[in-house]
Structure 1
């Protein structure tokens, strides 16, 4: 075991056609007619976590939960935390305050009704809370959330807040809602992504492992790792007409993801977000 520190394992529960980068190519009106693959992929993840004795947090779309309530209940029955990813994968930065309040309130209510447990956490689609919409964190508090994991302190062409704290903090001067940023490594006066997603598929596994070990060892802090169910699915339908950069980011090394995830769950200790950051246990 690489470290005694418990790191947070998280899953952003959405299907392949709901990815933000595909939004210009796949209309929301077509979602109902597209073949869903999220349930089979979630079941693979649950089996892997059970084998490796991993407990995780599943940030789940309300749209998905409404259509797959039995899957949501299997997540809860496995001892995992159910958290919100919003309703329909709309970026927080693309919503007004009224729209955002409705989005996070409705998704919370849907998940709590189906899962039968209180929903305390939220993650914005595409890490879409940043300097221009920090009001969203106050809205989350008003809606009854206890923590957010919506800020990625890196420079990225679609998201990021590189000047944000690298580790958990209370934003906007309150001590009621905790923000838990995605993990980064500080080197050469900049933050490097170390929390999963496409970077985990792009980087060699040894580098990703070293990044997380460095955070545990040098910063004495837990890491936050995230991935999506579609990242374990190399046979998912391929989208036509998407740009080269989007195609590269989405499809690179999908066939290696499950093996790398098995190694990651073996090499580190893992737990739910609420257990680590809210002291639920």
Structure 2
């Protein structure tokens, strides 16, 4: 496969990393309540350092949607992300699903996260992604809160059908959700009357690499749009503790093919051109006005 960034068509996709530790994943929340987070050994710093090395090796940049809780504990890591040319964005403060909060609590969480990230990094934070893509039909007020908090874009909607998230009938590509806010959904391909996920996460680990690459290539060349891909630092960490008390379904989803993810990501970085969300989407939006 020819890298789209060098095939004469100039398509650069957006690479995104949701910076959270393994024990902060929504599916493992019953086993790691917030009052034990401070006493749980973190692995995120080492994993993010490895990701930064990978991106440097491939000459790629990306957007790091970072928890405020993580930023407060690893401020040097946050500054390193920015110093190496990547975009710093918000994943909220405490990794609580937007759909599980009141509008007031949600606004307070995402406002605090923005303040923390900007104070530590010294740069403007324009993007937000809700934990577990938890913005949808049940909480239409969430976009109003995101705009009120001062963000320029959200990447909180996944237009697929899933048992924990998803808005299958949402637009597949960037759309306005307020006076000054854009929603930038995770990438899907449209086949057989439905949207199919090709934007990363557990699907990238579970399914063959060729399916993700095929889908991204289809979006680039059939839809003539940049794709968005996401993953987590814990997904390149097969040595993380196994939570055996979790359900079989949760264990499968969380641990499947962790040992293969880093090699697949290296292949993805080689096969496609990657950049930051703000440069891929916000600059394009401004140019189209």
Classify the secondary structure of the residue corresponding to 2:240: coil
Instruction: Give the Cα–Cα distance (whole angstroms) in 2 for the partners of residues 25 and 131 of structure 1.
Output: 28
**1:275 and 2:279 aligned:** yes
Rounded Cα–Cα distance in structure 2 between residues aligned with 1:242 and 1:81: 34
TM-score, normalization by structure 1:
0.98
Of 266, 270, 286, the residue aligned with 1:266 is 270
> 2:233 aligns to what?
229
CA distance in 2, matches of 1:206, 1:240: 31
Q: Deviations over 1:199-243 (max 9, x none)?
A: 000111111100100110110001000000000000001112111
CA distance in 2, matches of 1:84, 1:21: 20
Could you report, residue by residue, the CA deviation over 1:49-95 in whole angstroms, capped at 9, with x for unpaired residues? 00101110000000000000000011001100000000010000011
1:86 aligns with 2:98: no
Match of residue 101 from structure 1: 107
Who is 1:136 aligned against? 142
1:28 aligns with 2:34: yes
Determine the C-alpha separation between the residues in 2 that align with 1:103 and 1:26. Answer: 19
TM-score normalized with structure 2 length: 0.95
State the partner residue of 1:177. 181
- How large is the RMSD of aligned CA atoms in angstroms? 1.1
Q: Among residues 45, 56, 74, which one is paired with 2:62 in the alignment?
A: 56
Runs of 4+ in 1 over 3 A off after TM superposition: none
Which range moves more in the overlay, 97-106 or 25-34? 25-34
1:9 and 2:10 are equivalent in the alignment: no
Equivalent of 1:220, from 198, 221, 224?
224
Counterpart contact for 2:244–2:251, Cα < 8 Å: no
Unaligned runs of 5+ residues in structure 2 are 5-9
Q: CA deviation at 1:273?
A: 0.2
- Count of residues in correspondence between the two structures: 279
The corresponding residue for 1:115 is 121
